[in-house]
Structure 1
Amino acid sequence: MSPVAVGGPALFIGTGTAYVALVRPELDPADPGVRLAAERAGVAPEEFAGPGDTWAVLFEDDGGGDGFELPGLRDSEAAGFAERLRAELAAARTPGGTPEPFGVDGGSVLSLDARPAGGDAYTFAARLTPPGDEPAELTVETGPVSAADLLADLDAFLGSLA
């Protein structure tokens, strides 16, 4: 599932070299930033450890990757995106039918366009627009992703948010 370990809820779409991920990383008490924040707050780093509350989008495209935070994104919004993706993917895979292209709008930051890639696979074009004063849209094209595997990942992601 995951080319990047984040320790919290994570939905990865793509392959090890071309992916987009919606993640809410866990805070690690051994992380130097967590340790510094805890020291400044006058508490033990272990008190800061555990589920974080800030969602982020991570991406990689042929070795070049980055990410950006999504301040204010709620778990319900992340779940809503995953539920829409799951519904579109399930509808596009009608038994005995030809897989159909589909799209999922994740708001101003993330949108997906899916195209059949043979068999039970899809490729995704993820349009990403980092928040900011002068957003610069970029597109990440993933390699083929098994629809069955993605449905299982979506179920696991949604379960991690329940």
Structure 2
Amino acid sequence: MSPIGMEGPALFIGTDTVYVALVRPRLDPADPGVREAAAEAGVSPEEFAGPGNVWALMLDEDGEGDGFELPGARDTEADDFAEQLQRALAAAEPFTAEAGNFLRLDARPSGDAWLVSAHVTPTEGHDAGPRTLDLGTLSTAELLADLEDFRSTLV
């Protein structure tokens, strides 16, 4: 899913076949794939890579991927969302967590896992309409580890 040379904070929630991902991509201008893409676009690798400070929401359901930029989103908001999820998982009760008006997660416990649905509303100017994705049954331990890893990349 990640293009060659893409780094930066990323929180993937779901499985290999269906997921949502809150990402702040950062392209490496020295990466050969980035250099090639920049040459094809007729710009310098540094210009092609850009500042790496724009958040995006990516989603995929059975190979039907989509995504959109989140203008104005900041690291603090991504961290707040991750912290909200950590608290909700620790409470071990059904919950709804929201990241702005573009992502809502509804989850309910199922043993040592969670049944999670994502409700995605693209930002203004994006052609696609709202979507609901069943992210499946997700391990509590893996979700907590992913949230901790994600939050550590925001520091």
CA apart distance, 1:143: 1.6
Q: Does 1:150 align with 2:152?
A: no
Within 5 Å, which residues of 2 pair with 1:38-77?
A: 38-39=43-44, 45-46=45-46, 52-77=52-77
Unaligned runs of 5+ in 1: 40-44, 93-99
Q: Among 97, 100, 105, which residue is 1:112 paired with? A: 105
CA apart distance, 1:109: 0.5
SS in 2 for 1:52: coil
CA apart distance, 1:34: 4.3
Residue correspondences, number: 146
**Under a length normalisation based on structure 1, what TM-score does the superposition of the two structures give?**
0.80
Q: Does 1:88 align with 2:88?
A: yes
Unaligned runs of 5+ in 2: none
Change (3 A) 1:125 1:47: same
CA apart distance, 1:33: 5.0
Deviations 1:39-81 (A, max 9, x none): 3xxxxx2576587111111111122221111121111111111
